Structures are given as C-alpha cells and as structure tokens.
Amino acid sequence: MILSDELKIGHFYTITKDIPLMPAFDPIKPLDAIKKIKQLPKGFLFEITIIRIKRNHPWYRVRTEIGDGWINSIALMGENIKEN
C-alpha cells in the first residue's frame, strides 16, 4: 500500500474514496477558494505534477480530466492509493 506522503512527481494514482481538489495551494482569498473546491470521485485517476510542503505535510499539484488543482496529503490518509 502506498502511503499518503509517498506520492511521486510524474506518477499516476487512483483513489478509492472521494477527496477534495483544492483550486490553489495558498489562496489569497481562502473563502473564495473554498467555493471552488471540486470533489474527485473514488476510482479517479490523477497525475502528480508538483509537490510542496505546508505545515510539514505534502500537498500535491495534480492533473486530472476535470482540471488541475491541489490535494492535501492529509485528505489521502487511510486511502488505498494505487499506482497506475
């Protein structure tokens, strides 16, 4: 099993539960960003393009078929992440 803080740039992964896709890593207007959060449904495929650290936790910039955004590694905890 792949842990939530072990994802790598250029790799593709599939999730087994719904997770939030944040529009920005560090939004200027957080309340506006909250309104733009999308949900990636279980079984969704994404590619890691950038990794940044915030408060000692990785955040992943991802590319998906519904658009790009950020996934917090904390949202992936307990997830059965599969590499494709």
pLDDT, tens digit, 9 for 90 and up, residues 13-45 = 999 999 999 999 989 998 999 999 999 999 999
Which percentage of the chain shows pLDDT scores above 70? 99
Q: Is the pLDDT of residue 1 over 80?
A: no
37/6 Cα distance (integer angstroms)? 23
Question: What would the two tokens of residue 36 be?
Answer: 């733009």
As a whole number, the mean pLDDT across the chain is: 93
List Cβ neighbours of 58 (8 Å cut-off, separation of 6 or more): 4, 5, 7, 51, 52, 73
Q: For residue 60, how far is the Cα from the chain centroid?
A: 5
> pTM score, two decimals?
0.91
**Mean per-residue pLDDT, 34-61:** 94
How far apart, in Å, are the Cα atoms of 20 and each of 11, 40, 45, 56?
Answer: 19, 6, 13, 19
Q: Is the pLDDT of residue 74 over 80?
A: yes
